[in-house]
Amino acid sequence: MPNFKGTRFTNAHETLIWCSMGEKAKYTFNYRAMKTLNDELQMRSDWVLPICGGQERLKKAGHKVHPTQKPEALLYRVMLATTNKGDVVLDPFFGTGTTGAVAKRLGREWIGCERESIYREAALERIELALPLDESALTTMQSPKAAPKVAFGTLVETGLITAGAKVFDKKRKLSATVRADGSLVAGAEIGSIHGLGAKLQGAPSCNGWTFWHIEHEGELKPLDAIRQLYLLATED
Ligand SMILES: C[S@@+](CC[C@H](N)C(=O)[O-])C[C@H]1O[C@@H](n2cnc3c(N)ncnc32)[C@H](O)[C@@H]1O
């Protein structure tokens, strides 16, 4: 963290400015991918990332090439959140080309401006060595709105969720059993994932995809996570 001497609070953060082209302009924000990156919790606005060090830090003759080389993890998160594959990312203060290296890994195009030739050369050399991720690894989680509609029954039909499996609310206070047609049963109550969720909670409505959870690979996952697995597996 750049710090300034003096009797003052020591710097503990840097501020990112996130802008759009206008008040009503459309902008990209990959909400679902961010949530997935953050273990199924909405991504926070304060990020804790280690400063750039180790193998990642560019050095020449034992000296740092650039005094403020940014960590790739930072650009990775910024780009994953705000761009899509094939988008062009402009970095007008390119330095060692962290933006370019991460853009290449993530299948984004890049434009960089850097006035110091020593940094430009280091950046180009570094980007040349960066390996783009495999096409299949570049597909990220989509928001339910952007994703094609999937009926819960389709997950049962395709065997991703088996009929007879138990589903629970997050705290395991409520449970239900999945039936062959994709409906749920809990005691005498029967309904869709949404309808039964609402009925058991005495709520006017319920998003069954996020309310109900299922054991998957030793963890309790929302049904939405299984739906995302289905979408990833069936994408063209
Ligand atoms: C904070 S550093 C960027 C570090 C970079 N993010 C990295 O990870 O290596 C800012 C860079 O902007 C460059 N710079 C400053 N003013 C510039 C200008 N007017 N035109 C082009 N480059 C400039 C500096 O030479 C410096 O390398």
Ligand 1, residues 114, 117, 118, 120: which to mutate, most atoms within 8 A of Cβ?
A: 114
Q: Let me know: does 64 contact 58? Beta carbons within 8 Å.
A: yes
Provide, rounded to the nearest whole percent, the portion of the chain with pLDDT above 90: 61
Which residue CA neighbors atom 5 of ligand 1 most closely? Answer: 95
Least confident of 33-42, 126-135, 220-229: 33-42
User: What is the pLDDT confidence band of residue 48, given thresholds at 50, 70 and 90?
Assistant: confident
Radius of gyration of the chain, Cα coordinates, nearest whole angstrom: 23
For the whole prediction, is pTM greater than 0.85? no
Which residue CA neighbors atom 3 of ligand 1 most closely? Answer: 95
Bridge-based pairing state of the strands 63-64 and 88-91: unpaired
For position 228, what pLDDT does the model report? Answer: 86
Residues 16, 10: Cα–Cα separation, whole Å: 18
User: What is the pLDDT confidence band of residue 236, given thresholds at 50, 70 and 90?
Assistant: low
Ligand 1 centre from 67 Cα, in Å? Answer: 10
Least confident of 101-105, 119-123, 137-141: 137-141
Residues 96, 33: Cα–Cα separation, whole Å: 27
